[in-house]
Structure 1
Amino acid sequence: MVVQTATPGARPPVRGTRRNATGVPRRQAVRPHWSRMLIHLLLALCAVAFVAPLLMVLSASFSSENAINRHGYSFLPRQFTTFAYRYVIGDSSQLVQAYGVSIVVTVVGTLVSLLVMSMLAYTLSRREFALRRSIGFYLLFAMLFSGGLVPSYILITQYLHLQDTLFALILPYLVSPWFVVILRTYFMSLPNDIMDAARIDGAGEFRTFFRIVLPLSGPAMATVGLFTALTYWNDWWLGLLYIDNDKLAPVQLLLYRIISNIDFAASNQTANHLVGVPVQTVRMAIAVLAIGPIIIAFGFVQRFFVRGITIGGLKD
């Protein structure tokens, strides 16, 4: 008679499950595989749903107006033509100049905004700061209520005298209370032992902030920086309010004026010089020219952006 001895720590076999050659139950080996495939399939469908409209816009911008009116939109261009881009570009020097203004405003505004908001958020994250609650309430109040259009216009034009300057395009979006709250929450999650060790070694607040806090906050800074850059790049409202000089018009304002002229041509039959303008294809070409550079910029900060949006839900 052979007596089977149980191995210490071994789990008793589960009735109704078979084990493969590696000793792992088949039911447990197959279930994660199919669940992973299902998740990948759902993510792939979401990616296609997001990319499909962009492909249709790009395809329509290279299609002829007659083909779109007859057959509608498609993922491949119908009767390939570049007339819409040639119409939008027109005077290429004006478009290049508008791109230059938008690039300068976006880069300078994003960098200065990140510096100001991060310094304010770091100050509010320090528990020993006496005015922490008062300034935090002021940020919350500014996030819920704004001063309005008329006071802002009077402040920019009459008191600060920033009309027809690039500062009028940068200053209104310099500080966002919501982004300050996000950065403050991230700074509060950093370990205090590192900052205390830096102070023991003789580092001041500025050195601690620039040498320790900022290098540890790359994902959060990249995420906030991307949304701030999107705000500056997509803005045309500030240019419409404060910019009368065509040389200082950003690209979004220039494209907005082109769309306004196209809508006027489509609704007014007396505009003989604008008759025959491809309305649909020109709109698609404007959309491509507007979102193209910011999509390229997103590729550089994508890895930081993914870490930044998930940092609040992960714990060590």
Structure 2
Amino acid sequence: MAHATTASAHATSNPKNTLGRPAAFGIQLFFFIYSILCLIPLVLLVMVSFSEEASIVRGGYKFWPDHFSLAAYRFLGNDIGQIVHSYGISIIVTVVGTALSMLIIALYAYPISRSHFKPGSWFTFFAFFTMLFSGGLVPWYLVYVQFLDLKDTLWALIMPQLMSAFWVLVMRTFFQTTIPGQVLESAKIDGAGELRIFWQIVLPLSLPVLATVALFQTLAYWNDWFLSLVFITGDHNISVQYLMYKMMANIQYLSTNPTAANAIAAAGGMVNFPSETVRMAMVIVGIGPIVLAYPFFQKYFIKGLTVGAVKG
């Protein structure tokens, strides 16, 4: 009887025995196939970017190019100075914007998560209200251009995305359900102020939700091209995503406008430039650094996504 009890307890404590080997193998096989299906478009994209333009026009996209070519990357290399500069702009905006966004969201979410902060329900409603209604594009533009005078500055690419009401509510829920209130009360009894409690206790215990917010804000800042389109008039402060957008629009215009192509040919410029392959090369150039961001947040990402789902 004792041996059976011990075996039963061992099986209960081992989560692998709960599903059984066939079920575990089926789940692993499913996610393996799903991962392969997610990688297939990326592999195709890379292969097409190294293909010859003529072979793409004749035979379409292929996982193995008929003729390897670096023409698309040589075409992008003609404007390498602007690409490197826009890369720097995107990196600065992403790093500064993500750091400030996490700080501002946390500073807003922490007070409204405390039960003794009586106006907290009103501030929660204000944040939620902005998720349902907005002032519109024109007032939004006028605030940043005429009132704050941020046109053609890097702050025009940072400030519009600093605050997110959705992440405020997510972080507020994390503070309420995960951080023990007894710990905060003990620190307060020991003489710690609210600011010290926030910096030395709340933030170190909130790494999962902070990593989740940081990941999504990083993606939002890096992939943004609209703010450069709206607020930046020259090429000095544009992001790499908007630069790719402009280059693609120019290529599409030249490929569908014989008059412009003839003018370029008369001036001695390139006429038979790649169009399909350069699209893929632009995607490779644009997604390169952001792919490396996920491993830094992976440790806390899943736990942060399930915030509030299970209460102990």
CA distance in 2 between partners of 1:53 and 1:191 (Å)? 45
Of 148, 155, 162, the match for 1:160 = 148
CA distance in 2 between partners of 1:230 and 1:159 (Å)? 28
Structure 1 stretches of at least 4 aligned residues deviating more than 6 Å after TM superposition? none
The equivalent residue for 1:295 is: 291
CA distance in 1 between partners of 2:207 and 2:102 (Å)? 12
Q: Does 1:50 find its partner at 2:38?
A: yes
CA distance in 2 between partners of 1:180 and 1:78 (Å)? 51
RMSD of the alignment, in Å? 1.9
Q: How do residues 85-104 of structure 1 correspond to structure 2 at under 5 angstroms?
A: 85-104=73-92
TM-score of the two chains, using structure 2 as the length reference: 0.89
CA distance in 2 between partners of 1:30 and 1:290 (Å)? 44
The equivalent residue for 1:17 is: none
C-alpha deviations, 1:187-232, integer Å up to 9, x for none? Answer: 1111111111111111111111111111111111011111001111
Residue 151 (structure 1) shift: 0.3
Residue 314 (structure 1) shift: 4.0
Provide the secondary structure at the position in 2 that maps to 1:74: coil
Q: How do residues 122-271 of structure 1 correspond to structure 2 at under 5 angstroms?
A: 122-189=110-177, 190-271=179-260
The equivalent residue for 1:81 is: 69
Residue 74 (structure 1) shift: 2.6
Structure 1 residue identity aligned to 2:47:
S
C-alpha deviations, 1:110-129, integer Å up to 9, x for none? Answer: 00000000110111101111
Q: Is the contact between residue 105 and residue 169 of structure 1 (CA under 8 Å) also seen in structure 2?
A: yes
Residue 299 (structure 1) shift: 2.1
Residue 8 (structure 1) shift: 7.5
Q: Is the contact between residue 157 and residue 227 of structure 2 (CA under 8 Å) also seen in structure 1?
A: yes
CA distance in 1 between partners of 2:2 and 2:105 (Å)? 59
Q: Is the contact between residue 113 and residue 176 of structure 2 (CA under 8 Å) also seen in structure 1?
A: yes
CA spacing shift, 1:208–1:33, aligned 2, 3 Å = same
Worse-superposed segment, 56-65 or 71-80: 71-80
CA distance in 1 between partners of 2:37 and 2:2 (Å)? 53
Structure 2 residue identity aligned to 1:295:
V
TM-score of the two chains, using structure 1 as the length reference: 0.88
Residue 156 (structure 1) shift: 1.0
Worse-superposed segment, 29-38 or 260-269: 29-38
Worse-superposed segment, 265-274 or 52-61: 265-274
C-alpha deviations, 1:221-258, integer Å up to 9, x for none? Answer: 01111100111111111111111131111111111110
Unaligned runs of 5+ in 2: 6-16, 265-269
CA distance in 1 between partners of 2:2 and 2:91 (Å)? 68
Residue 68 (structure 1) shift: 1.7
Which is higher, the Rg of structure 1 or of structure 2? 1
Of 277, 281, 297, the match for 2:277 = 281
Q: Is the contact between residue 88 and residue 258 of structure 1 (CA under 8 Å) also seen in structure 2?
A: no
Q: Is the contact between residue 118 and residue 180 of structure 1 (CA under 8 Å) also seen in structure 2?
A: yes
CA distance in 1 between partners of 2:150 and 2:285 (Å)? 28
Q: How do residues 12-31 of structure 1 correspond to structure 2 at under 5 angstroms?
A: none
Q: Does 1:309 find its partner at 2:298?
A: no
CA distance in 2 between partners of 1:48 and 1:95 (Å)? 31
Residue 315 (structure 1) shift: 4.5
CA spacing shift, 1:78–1:206, aligned 2, 3 Å = farther
Q: Is the contact between residue 173 and residue 308 of structure 2 (CA under 8 Å) also seen in structure 1?
A: no
Unaligned runs of 5+ in 1: 1-6, 12-28
C-alpha deviations, 1:247-295, integer Å up to 9, x for none? Answer: 1111111111101101101221112226322111011011111111101
CA distance in 2 between partners of 1:10 and 1:296 (Å)? 49
Q: Percent identity?
A: 43
C-alpha deviations, 1:123-159, integer Å up to 9, x for none? Answer: 1101111211111111111011111110011111111
